[in-house]
């Protein structure tokens, strides 16, 4: 941290003074806006990738609807379960009904992936598509979407790390746990940059190697959790408690989750290393209709590896 003669920092990252703007009486919340932009970009980019591998236009958009709905529910449930003391019990600092206020922050990627995956699985099953093919298609988009969504934490002044003297230290006001004249590691920024780099790495890996049947998605999980582990270790903002983070054997709960998922992703990559069964990227019924309309000339709905 660069300081003047008065001891005040000359270089730092300021936190926004407010995260809500109004158009008339309608509130526009920066946190929610970041997530909306992330979702729209993710769907658009995934559609392009799906069409490039032979899928039908609009497929990802349809699958995304239950995926996003289930994902938002899962993201909030994980937050409330792991941070229950904020809303329930004698130490609660918020009324229980505010557990429904997702715009105040608290959307966990772990819950989003878990229940969002269930929503996508149901949609893929209904349409007769291979879940692995869809998962591999959306993997880079999820990483890029997280890179965008993390800026919502900046507006909410959350997801920050321990004090630092680095010139890119983050200013946090006292209402959000900061101290005057102290700068903190901008862990939201670290994760945003990590996610963006991961997204590009996944695209390159997908082009360089034959990663099918969910293997590219597994690589995303491994890459994300590897970065999340060390970034989480820098954090000091409360997670899982009102004024502290719940830890187990010296590690935060999210670090343990990262370890479990990282190992699981590596196991999946190893177990499926020789898997080469067919994947359906176009529903058989649509393929037959296209085949008839084009006089017997249509692309194969089966993708082999």
Give the residue from 115, 35, 91 showing the smallest Cα distance to 244.
91
Q: Is residue 287 part of a domain?
A: no
In contact, 191 and 150? CB cutoff 8 Å: yes
In contact, 171 and 12? CB cutoff 8 Å: yes
Count the domains in the chain: 1
228 is in an annotated binding site: no
What gap in Å lies between CA 77 and CA 161, rounded to an integer? 24
What is the three-class DSSP state of 29? strand
pLDDT in tens, 125-184: 888 888 888 999 999 999 999 999 999 889 888 888 889 988 899 998 887 778 888 899
pLDDT value at residue 290 = 46
pLDDT value at residue 241 = 57
- pLDDT-derived band at 107 (thresholds 50, 70, 90) equals confident
Q: Is residue 96 part of a domain?
A: no
Name, of 84-93, 121-130, 276-285, the range with top average pLDDT.
121-130
What gap in Å lies between CA 147 and CA 196, rounded to an integer? 6
Cα–Cα separations (whole angstroms), residue 18 to 14, 29, 224: 12, 9, 30
pLDDT value at residue 83 = 76
pLDDT value at residue 245 = 64
pLDDT in tens, 233-243: 898 876 655 55
Q: Is residue 29 part of a domain?
A: no
What gap in Å lies between CA 195 and CA 228, rounded to an integer? 9
What gap in Å lies between CA 100 and CA 180, rounded to an integer? 32
pLDDT in tens, 294-305: 445 444 555 544
Tally of residues, the chain: 305
Question: Percent helix, strand, coil in the chain (nearest 5)?
Answer: 55, 10, 35
Beta strands in the chain (DSSP E): 20-23, 26-29, 170-171, 183-184, 247-248, 251-252, 279-280, 302-303
Mean pLDDT for all residues in the chain: 82
What gap in Å lies between CA 133 and CA 131, rounded to an integer? 5
- pLDDT-derived band at 265 (thresholds 50, 70, 90) equals very high
Q: Is residue 17 part of a domain?
A: no
pLDDT value at residue 239 = 60
In contact, 282 and 51? CB cutoff 8 Å: no
pLDDT value at residue 4 = 45
pLDDT value at residue 178 = 80
pLDDT in tens, 195-216: 999 999 999 999 888 888 889 9
Q: Is residue 147 part of a domain?
A: yes
Q: Is residue 89 part of a domain?
A: no
Q: Is residue 215 part of a domain?
A: yes
The structure tokens listed for 213 are 């049947």
Q: Is residue 28 part of a domain?
A: no
- Give residue 150's domain range: 130-275
């Amino acid at each position: 941290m660069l300081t003047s003669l008065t001891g005040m920092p000359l270089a730092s990252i300021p936190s926004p003074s407010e995260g809500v703007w109004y158009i008339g009486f309608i509130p526009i919340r920066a946190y929610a806006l970041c997530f909306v932009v992330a979702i729209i970009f993710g769907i658009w980019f995934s559609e392009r990738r799906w069409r490039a591998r032979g899928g039908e236009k609009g497929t990802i958009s349809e699958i995304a609807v239950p995926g996003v709905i289930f994902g938002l529910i899962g993201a909030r449930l994980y937050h409330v379960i792991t941070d229950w003391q904020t809303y329930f019990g004698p130490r609660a600092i918020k009324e229980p009904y505010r557990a429904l206020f997702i715009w105040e922050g608290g959307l966990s990627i772990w819950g989003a992936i878990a229940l969002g995956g269930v929503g996508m699985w149901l949609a893929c099953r209904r349409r007769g598509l291979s879940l692995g093919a869809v998962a591999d298609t959306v993997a880079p988009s999820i990483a890029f979407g997280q890179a965008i969504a993390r800026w919502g934490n900046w507006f909410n002044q959350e997801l920050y790390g321990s004090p630092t003297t680095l010139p890119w230290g983050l200013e946090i006001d006292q209402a959000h746990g900061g101290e005057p004249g102290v700068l903190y590691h901008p862990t939201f920024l670290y994760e945003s940059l990590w996610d963006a780099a991961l997204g590009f790495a996944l695209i390159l890996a997908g082009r360089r190697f034959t990663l099918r049947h969910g293997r590219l998605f597994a690589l995303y999980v491994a890459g994300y959790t590897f970065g999340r582990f060390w970034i989480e270790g820098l954090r000091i903002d409360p997670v899982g408690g009102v004024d502290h983070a719940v830890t187990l054997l010296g590690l935060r709960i999210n670090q343990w989750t990262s370890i479990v998922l990282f190992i699981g992703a590596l196991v999946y990559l190893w177990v499926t290393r020789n898997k080469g069964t067919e994947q359906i990227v176009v529903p058989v019924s649509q393929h037959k209709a296209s085949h008839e309309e084009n006089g017997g000339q249509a692309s194969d709905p089966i993708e082999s590896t």
